[in-house]
Amino acid sequence: MSTHPLAGKTAIVTGASSGIGRAIAEKLGAAGAHVYLAGRTRDAMEASQVKIEAGGGRAAVVTLDVRKVQDVQDLVARAQRETGRLDIMVNNAGLSFPAAIIDGDPEEWRSMLETNVLALLVGCQAAVRAMRACKADGHIVNISSIAAQRNDSGVYGATKHAVNCVCSTLRKELEEDSIRVVNIMPGAIATNFARNFDPAFVANFARAAGVEIEVKRGERLPDEVMDRLQPMMKQVLSSPDDVADAVYYAVTQPIHVNVAEIVVRPPKQLAL
């Protein structure tokens, strides 16, 4: 089997600055894809670009705000223009503000809806058009959440229920196309996703693993903290690499195989 099964293919990964998105981008790059890493933190993505290129792959970095429709459309257009094709679109960008509805901030709701749902919709639509134009055997991978499996998972969960609905609907719309739609639902993953959670909760969680950190709401936790935390709490925290492996599996299947949904979670489940 080839060590570069994605050679000659173009892939886009949104939310590629850290965590799951970064792991997916690096995994696809190592498999030979020309990866476009899209996100807000350029330095982090450039570090991944160096890693991918050091392994013989190709990568480009695009800073953008996925809440802006034109930014997402321009991202897909750039990848198609520069490489002549698009084979894999990973809509990974997402965020959570886990406040109770009665206490919630409508602007935080807006951010979640625009990031988790609208940006994903725009990415899907643009990707379909690009894949059809180059007649690709394409894969659209949407990162949802196990929160979509619960009916009481709040506004964040509502956005992920929407993602699952989008995936199922788009999969039906594309039954006659050579484009597969893959829905990945991660459980608790050791990422900076929890940066908007209550700081005391995050600090206590880390303390239980023997890691003392000062947590400020909205600030990223250092990578070394996440790297240390996950192995110590692997019963309740999966690694971003576990999700990247699931994505890699799905996009390397032959196009006649429809890998519709994959749940990736640790042995013990947390209510997200």
Sheet of 88-91: strands edge to edge? 58-63, 34-39, 10-14, 88-91, 138-143, 179-186, 261-264
Q: State yes or no: is 36 an active-site residue.
A: no
Residue 53 Cα distances to 49, 189, 217, angstroms: 6, 26, 34
Is there a contact between 240 and 23 (Cβ–Cβ < 8 Å)? Answer: yes
- Catalytic member of 36, 156, 248, 249: 156
Count of other CB atoms within 10 angstroms of residue 124? 23
Residue 227 Cα distances to 105, 138, 192, 199, 203, angstroms: 32, 33, 11, 19, 16
Residue in this structure with the two tokens 């799951």, named with its chain if needed: 20
Active site residues: 156
